[in-house]
Amino acid sequence: MEVLRTGSRDAIPSEDTLIKKFGVSRGVIREVLHLLREQGLIERVRGAGTFVLAPGPILHPVDESRDLAQDVNSVAPRIAIRCRAVSPQTCTAFTADKLAVPVDSSVVIMESLTTLDGYPVSVRTAFLPAEPFSVILDDPHIDLHRSPYELISQIIGQPVGDTDLEISCSNADALTADLLRVPVGFALLDTSRVLRAVDGTPLEFSISHARADHLVFTHVMKSSAAPARASSPAGATVRYGDPSI
C-alpha cells in the first residue's frame, strides 16, 4: 500500500521507479497495480499515467483523548460521520464489564460509518449506558452525525476524560467489506475503546474496523532517561508523497 501514500489524483511513479524502490520484479508491480485498480483505488489514464483515486492515509496521533474527526476537521472539514442506526438493547456480560454496569443493564447501541472525502474509512459500533444516554433515542434534535466525543460531552455537560484504547488487526467479513467497499478478507485496523468521564466512569465502549490502507496510528514513546521536550501539537495529517512513517 506504499504506492498509495500520496495525495488523491496524484500520479503513481513509473513501474521502473517502483521496481527500484521496493526491489521486486515487474510482474509483482503489475499484479499489485491490477489489484488496486480492481478495488477502485487507482485509475490508469492512457497517455497520462496511473493516478490515485482515494485520499492518502491519515496519520492519527493517539496521545490525547480525542478522535479522528476532531483531528482532521480542525484543519478542514474532510471527515464525515454518519450514524447508521441507534437502538436500545440489554448488554452482555462482556459489554457490562467494559461499562462497569450490571449484566442485562439497558444500553444504547450506535452504529456509524466514517468517510474521508467521501470514501469509507471505518465502521464503529458503540455501546452507551442508558443512563444518561437514552435521551438520544427520543430527542430528534440531538445531532448524532458527529464525533462521539462531542456528542457525549454535550449530553453529560462537561469534557470527556481519558480513553482506554486497544489496537489490533483483522480481515474484513462480508458485511464490513460491503460497508467499506473492499474485498472480503481485506486488511483492517481494529480499535477497542472505552471512553471515560473525568472521574473515570465509563461512558462508552466501542469497537471499530478501519481500512488499514487509510489510517496510521502514531504515538511518541517517552524515554525515562531523555530530558523533557515540548510535545508536537495534536492533530491528524494526511501524508502526501513521503512514504516513510
CB of 115 within 8 A of CB of 80? Answer: yes
Of 143, 141, 147, 102, whose CA–CA distance to 126 is shortest?
A: 147
Higher local confidence (pLDDT), 110 or 241: 110
Question: Per residue in 123-182, pLDDT tens?
Answer: 999 999 998 999 999 888 899 998 888 899 999 999 989 999 898 999 999 999 999 988
> Domains of the chain (ranges plus CATH)?
2-52 (1.10.10.10), 58-221+229-238 (3.40.1410.10)
Question: Per residue in 56-112, pLDDT tens?
Answer: 666 665 666 656 655 555 555 578 889 999 999 999 999 999 999 999 999 999 999
Helix (H) or strand (E) segment spanning residue 171: strand 163-171
Question: Per residue in 23-49, pLDDT tens?
Answer: 888 888 888 888 777 766 777 787 778
Of 245, 239, 243, whose CA–CA distance to 57 is shortest?
A: 239
CA dihedral in degrees (33, 34, 38, 42; nearest 10)? 30
Question: Per residue in 174-189, pLDDT tens?
Answer: 999 999 988 899 989 8
